[in-house]
Amino acid sequence: MCIVTEALDDAAIDWLAGHARIVRGSPASAEFAAAASEAQALVVRTYTIVDDALLDRLPALRVVARAGVGLDNIDVAACRRRGVEVVHTPDANTQAVVEYVLCLLCDALRPRLFLDRPLAKDAWDDVREEVVGAWQMDELVLGILGMGRIGQRVAQVAGAIGFHCIYHDLLEIPESARHGAQPCGIEQLFADSDVVTVHVDGRASNRGLVGAPLLERLRDDAVLINTSRGFVIDDRALAAWLGTRPGAQVILDVHDPEPFTHGHPLLGMANAHLAPHLASRTLTAMANMSWVVKDVAAVLGGAPPRFPAPLR
């Protein structure tokens, strides 16, 4: 038996149904409660927290599957202590996220206006005078914080457009994977970049990584983009920094918590743009992530999974 707590692609669900009995329901549902004692597999996406409390309810569990890349909502160590395998889809949404980052870069750097009525020549000229990008991308430095799969692909795409790319990562990145981006320290990255895009993983040491000390190194007209994890950025420090720099822009696709509440310190700031976690929201990426069910079937059948969670 497999419990699926969040939405999956229909084709993946149909395929999984040929390998296990499926029960659908959130941890708070009656369906979950009725199936918990017998469930051998659990498939989640973003908002189901798999911790000791949930695992205690699932005594027969053999595998937890995250239909996605990050494992922030899964206590992998707790699962492993119980002999429960954890699987995920590490490259399922790379293309979708990189496309989204590119869109955000265009939003920040290339203002656009579409007309819904004809304009007199004077008004036409006024619009063309007003809507002007301050910089071209080939004049700017893009700092990539985190040079994993997505960071590397961002470097490839941004370099092709013309950005000079620099990056910081905890690991040594092979030159062949850098796509021309140059390594630097994290302080230098924030000081030298016109745009910083964040692509770090969910390890505990990244909580609050981008706080006042790094933000103060940014230029007064810098652009900061985060599509990785909300908890990486100290929102209060960011609001304080942004409030004194009207020429800067912040675009956040991820938040801590999600959804954010009325007390969010960036709400109402004209130069802060808050999106509802959309980076991986393409039909293709969501379908790719749903096929984590193949590793569910592998584990239930006694075979090694293709994409087990990494050990940290």
Domain count, the chain: 2
> Torsion angle, CA of 195/199/203/209, rounded to 10 degrees?
10
Is 279 in contact with 100 (CB distance < 8 Å)? Answer: yes
Shortest CA distance to 239 belongs to which of 224, 257, 229, 254?
224
As a whole-number percent, the residues of the chain with pLDDT over 70 amount to 100
- Rounded-to-integer distance, Cα 229 and Cα 253, Å: 9
- Same structural domain for residues 84 and 120? no
- Low-confidence winner among 55-59, 148-152, 202-206 (lowest mean pLDDT): 202-206
- Same structural domain for residues 74 and 114? no
- Same structural domain for residues 164 and 288? no
Is 220 in contact with 245 (CB distance < 8 Å)? Answer: yes
Q: Is residue 310 part of a domain?
A: no
What average pLDDT does this structure show over 276-301? 96
Measuring CA to CA, how many Å separate 1 from each of 75, 194, 261, 295, 303? 21, 51, 36, 15, 17
Supply φ then ψ for residue 147, to 5 degrees: -115, 50
User: pLDDT band at 311, cuts 50/70/90?
Assistant: confident
- Rounded-to-integer distance, Cα 14 and Cα 4, Å: 12
Shortest CA distance to 78 belongs to which of 49, 45, 43?
49
Residue 310 has pLDDT above 90, yes or no: no
- Same structural domain for residues 9 and 151? no
Q: Is residue 39 part of a domain?
A: yes
Q: Is residue 81 part of a domain?
A: yes
Residue 198 has pLDDT above 80, yes or no: yes
Q: Is residue 305 part of a domain?
A: no
Shortest CA distance to 196 belongs to which of 210, 206, 212?
210
Q: Is residue 159 part of a domain?
A: yes
- Rounded-to-integer distance, Cα 87 and Cα 79, Å: 11
Residue 76 CB burial class (10 angstroms; 0-12, 13-18, ≥19): buried
For the chain, what is the mean pLDDT? 96
Q: Is residue 308 part of a domain?
A: no
Residue 312 has pLDDT above 70, yes or no: no
pLDDT tens for each residue of 221-254 = 999 999 999 999 999 999 999 999 999 999 999 9
Interior/surface letters 197-209, b for 16+ CB within 10 angstroms, e for the rest: bbbbbbeeebeeb
- Same structural domain for residues 176 and 113? yes
Q: Is residue 306 part of a domain?
A: no
Tell whether omega for the bond before 90 is within 30 degrees of 0, i.e. cis. Answer: no
Q: Is residue 312 part of a domain?
A: no
- Same structural domain for residues 143 and 190? yes
Q: Whole domain around residue 19: which residue ranges?
A: 2-92+283-300
What average pLDDT does this structure show over 291-311? 95
- Same structural domain for residues 248 and 270? yes
Provide DSSP, 219-274: -TT-EEEE-S-GGGB-HHHHHHHHHT-TT-EEEES--SSSS--TT-TTTT-TTEEE
Residue 6 structure tokens: 């969040």
pLDDT tens for each residue of 54-86 = 999 999 999 999 999 989 999 999 999 999 999
- Same structural domain for residues 128 and 265? yes
- Whole-prediction pTM value? 0.92
- Same structural domain for residues 220 and 102? yes
Domain holding 61: CATH number? Answer: 3.40.50.720
- Rounded-to-integer distance, Cα 209 and Cα 186, Å: 10
- Rounded-to-integer distance, Cα 272 and Cα 268, Å: 8
- Same structural domain for residues 113 and 213? yes
- Same structural domain for residues 202 and 296? no
- Same structural domain for residues 99 and 55? no
